[in-house]
Structure 1
């Protein structure tokens, strides 16, 4: 039994949350009739996590409103640019717009994180063609990353019952990561196929790779590998959100990688029906 949470109301010390781990003791290849049990009081840690989530939720909501106003004002300025304005004025305004968009994505991710933690993330389930969703997402990213060759192979002809916007968000995140963390490579390969009653989507990059110890934590909230933290900005929530979205769709997301050998992130989704 690993990382099993137990909540109990004790007579004198009140309600406590405990983390329970139990292992059978092995000696010289033989299991003995002994079990090692470790119990950790994680009440304060859980409360601290709850406060962090509350802060994330409130801060994200509060930041969203003025940012929407700023975005609207920048768009207004872009439409009102004088005819003889200097080129630097126009490029500066365009840069402001780009960074406002980046900030908007970041705040949206924080909002998603707080919704996931509180169990309030909504799924709008509708049938959609997964092949088309992937093609559209790849086309959009190819335009924004012209220096990378994103190749798409395979097909499923499958219909998925799910939230198309969220699944598109996962694909977008995985491909964007593949581009971001492969500074020495200009190639990303995507392969889609059927595996039983599931579709399987794989995104392969030829970048820096992930160590064995980091692979175990890669989908944890706010986790960032040391090498990545030094070279690339970010909060470490994209993969966490993607993992939770796929889990909410009854699928699985995992990674295969070695240092210096690139990475392949794959996920499965149950097929609704065949054409």
Structure 2
């Protein structure tokens, strides 16, 4: 296998209606540290530095074996970083994150409001941000399978044998139906979509983050726009971070790890 592409990752996120480009929305994505340990990030992958992860907004993750079956896994939250752990090697992951409702103010700033507050104002100038991620890290995993996420990016050829100058054809699916008009972006540039296929150019540094978005015309109160990202581990925009050194777990830390304690202040990142 060419070392240019070690791992495959798809990340899917719902972006606000008011944003015209998916790169403006925060997303979550997976990277694999080793076959039994992965990490889930939040932020803008193209910026190279993840942002703080709000554990209360994380809604779950699954790990899969090489045949696509769900395998037992646990998640741990250490020093602000979220990890997914398995006993046997994981070939793929999927996960989700609910970033809540955000209202745009006249000055262009945003407030994170509750679902009840959003309903009281009739969802005016308000978008909901539901984020989804899937990642594949083994070349024998069924590449184009569905993970059951609302929006998914699926390659149409193997991403594990790419070299600089190649292109990777990808398609975007909404509720398992092929989209012919999603917005697909790569390194800040819009990629044309022809007959539902976007060709992603591979550079010298390997496969970078791919982003796609789509607004559901049938969704109301609020209207939902979806965004997706696609990246590789070991190359591209994310600088690998050293594993945190485990610290003694206090009662407060235990409650926080289990997601019992609420976040005491609002997350102002959409």
Same fold? TM cut 0.5: no
In proportion to residue count, which structure has more helix?
1
In proportion to residue count, which structure has more strand?
2
Q: Structure 1 length as normaliser, TM-score?
A: 0.24
